[in-house]
Every structure is written in structure tokens, then in C-alpha cells.
Amino acid sequence: MKILEERIRQEGLVLPGNVLKVNQFLNHQIDPDLMLDIGKEFVKLFGEQKITKILTVESSGIAPAIMTGLLLHVPVLFARKQKSSTMPNELYSAKVYSYTKKIENTITVESKFLPASDHVLIIDDFLANGEAVNGLLKICQQANAQVVGVGIAIEKSFQAGAKRITDQGIHLESLAKIASFADNQVHFVGENYN
């Protein structure tokens, strides 16, 4: 997705540890126009299939997820990282290890919001090692819900996550694919290095 790549090039900061900081439009301040364009792109890629729910994980997945849900007129469900005190017992949960933060989170979804009849499109902002998406896939398994596919805004293709998802036969679409951060520059998959 050209405009997303341009924004990453213009406003992204490459940090040590292969981390891309995009706080200008995605992870802190959010550009709603760009998020809407991201939603439109996901609708182009997945909209032909039956989708009854968007599933993401808080917090940064919510912005692209909600735009996709808005365009498809389906609810957007986000897994929580902290147990809410107002949440009853009927939960689906999965452990998610964060390599960037070196902590394990348990993500949870109230079972009543994910019936077995759901056709789920999983959306997230970043795909690195695939821990978050894997946790969401486990939750869908527990619910016996059907996974239509996984839509990612920014994939770090040099990390393990993409292969981990496609190896399970799941339809993955990433709008910007980063091949490397060589010389502290963002290099996208398919572009010429020079």
C-alpha cells in the first residue's frame, strides 16, 4: 500500500532492536484518514468473503480494526490484556509472549462476544513474531469460530510471524512489508536496494 509505505518512510523512526517507531500516525497519535484508507484496503482484500466480526488486541490494533468494521458494518471485538473487574467468568484466553517487552500477557475475550457462528477477520497493527496473532487464533479455536484471514498494517517480513501464520494455511495480507532496517533505513519487500 503506497501511501502507508510513504508515511513509514517520511515519519517512521528505526530504533535499535529492529523496532520501527510510528507514533506520528499509528501507535500514539493516530491519523484517522490513513486508518480509513487502511480499512478500505482490507475490505478490498477480504471483503468478498463472509465476515461477521473483526477481532484485534488492545491497544494499537483497535484503530485499523474499527475502520474495517465500520466499512463492513460488523462489530469490532478487541482482546484485553488485563482482566477487567467487570468481566464475568466465561472467557476465552491465550498466553502471548512479547519479545519486544519481554513479558507474557494473557489476552482474554468474553465468550458471549465470539459465538461459534462467527466468521472472523483478525486485524493488527504490527506483525513481528506473530505471538499476538497466534493468541487471537487460539481464542478463535476455543470459540470454534471460523477464521477468514489475518490483515496486518505493517509486517516485519524478516521476523517469524508471517510464515507462522501462512504455514497454518491461513490467508494473510500485510499492507506494508518490511524486508530490513539495514543502515537504519526502511527497506520494503520487492524494492531495489541502492
Residue 4, CB-side half-sphere exposure with 13 Å CA sphere: 26
Q: Is 95 annotated as a binding residue?
A: no
- CA distances from residue 27 to 20, 21, 44 in whole angstroms, order as listed: 10, 8, 24
The entry of Na ion, ligand G4P, none that residue 98 binds, CB within 5 to 8 Å by partner kind: ligand G4P
- Residue closer to Na ion by CB (options 43, 122) is 122
Cα distance between residue 75 and residue 77, in whole Å: 6
Interface with ligand G4P by CB under 6 A: which range of 3-11, 35-43, 67-75, 120-128?
A: 120-128
Min CB(113)–ligand G4P separation in Å = 19
Cell numbers at 25, concatenated = 500516525
Q: Which of residues 45-74 bind Na ion (CB under 5 A)?
A: 60-61
Query: What is the residue whose three cell numbers read 518512510?
Result: 9
Q: Is 131 annotated as a binding residue?
A: yes
- Contact string 51-90 vs ligand G4P (x = CB under 6 A): ------x-xxx-----------------------------
Cα distance between residue 150 and residue 81, in whole Å: 20
Min CB(50)–ligand G4P separation in Å = 27
Cα distance between residue 184 and residue 88, in whole Å: 46
Return the residue of 130, 147, 151, 162 that touches ligand G4P, per CB under 6 A. Answer: 130
27 is a site residue for ligand G4P (CB under 6 A): yes
Rg (CA), the chain: 16
Cα distance between residue 110 and residue 25, in whole Å: 30
- Amino acid identity for residue 55 in this structure: L
Query: What is the residue whose three cell numbers read 462476544?
Result: 113
21 is a site residue for ligand G4P (CB under 6 A): yes
Instruction: By CB under 5 A, name the binding residues for Na ion.
Output: 60-61, 124-125
Instruction: By CB under 6 A, name the binding residues for ligand G4P.
Output: 19-22, 27, 57, 59-61, 98-101, 125-132, 156, 161
